[in-house]
């Protein structure tokens, strides 16, 4: 099983931040986790609020742990509240279910090799940054929407 490399993670983070500046977004924080859930890269823009690294990590960790992107996770959040509470409890509080901004990283063969979490602006804008970074690294983003396939 492969994993996202430091070189790829660095591209993802830098390109995600670049996208945020292009869109004139609020300051964002970007986290990239490898396939084992370990922090590979993280950057937070100046004036990014105190909890942003933990939120970005929680978005990435949650989608990696569940095996589907934020959009699919958010659809499942409409399930009974006990389900979501169980997920968060099982993750030791590390998981942050959000409408968007947690994106799986897939390789060309479709295998999950990591995840990205972006936070700081709207969920859709956060996701746009994550997707831009992943694509810029030559990898495949999986937001949890149908049609992500390679």
Domains of the chain: residue spans and CATH: 6-142 (3.30.450.150)
Q: What is the mean pLDDT of residues 122-131?
A: 94
Q: Hey, is 16 helix, strand or coil?
A: helix
pLDDT at position 97 over 50: yes
Model confidence pLDDT, tens digit, residues 77-86: 666 666 667 6
Q: Which residues of 27-44 are buried (b: 16+ CB within 10 A; e: fewer)?
A: bbbbbbbbbeeeebbbbb
Question: Is the Cβ–Cβ distance between 103 and 115 less than 8 Å?
Answer: yes
Task: Say how far apart CA 52 and CA 39 lie, in whole Å.
Answer: 15
Contact present, 116 and 133 (Cβ < 8 Å): yes
Q: What percentage of the chain exceeds 90 in pLDDT?
A: 67
The phi, psi pair for 50, rounded to 5°, reads -55, -45
Predicted confidence (pLDDT) per residue in 5-58, tens digit: 999 999 999 999 999 999 999 999 999 999 999 999 999 999 999 999 999 999
In this structure, is the dihedral angle defined by the CA atoms of residues 62, 150, 127 and 83, taken in order, positive or negative?
negative
Backbone angles phi, psi at 130, to 5 degrees: -60, -45
């Amino acid at each position: 099983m492969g994993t996202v490399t430091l070189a790829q993670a660095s591209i993802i983070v830098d390109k995600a931040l670049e996208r945020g500046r292009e869109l004139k977004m609020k300051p964002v924080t970007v986290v990239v986790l490898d396939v084992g859930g370990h922090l590979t890269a993280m950057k937070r823009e100046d004036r990014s609020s105190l909890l942003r690294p933990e939120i970005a990590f929680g978005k990435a960790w949650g989608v990696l742990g569940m095996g589907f992107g934020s959009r699919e996770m958010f659809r499942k959040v409409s399930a009974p509240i006990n389900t979501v509470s169980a997920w968060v409890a099982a993750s030791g509080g590390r998981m942050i279910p959000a409408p968007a901004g947690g994106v799986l990283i897939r390789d060309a063969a479709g295998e999950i090799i990591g995840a990205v979490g972006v936070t700081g602006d709207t969920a859709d804008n956060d996701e746009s940054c994550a997707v831009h970074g992943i694509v810029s690294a030559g990898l495949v983003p999986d937001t949890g929407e149908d049609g992500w396939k390679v």
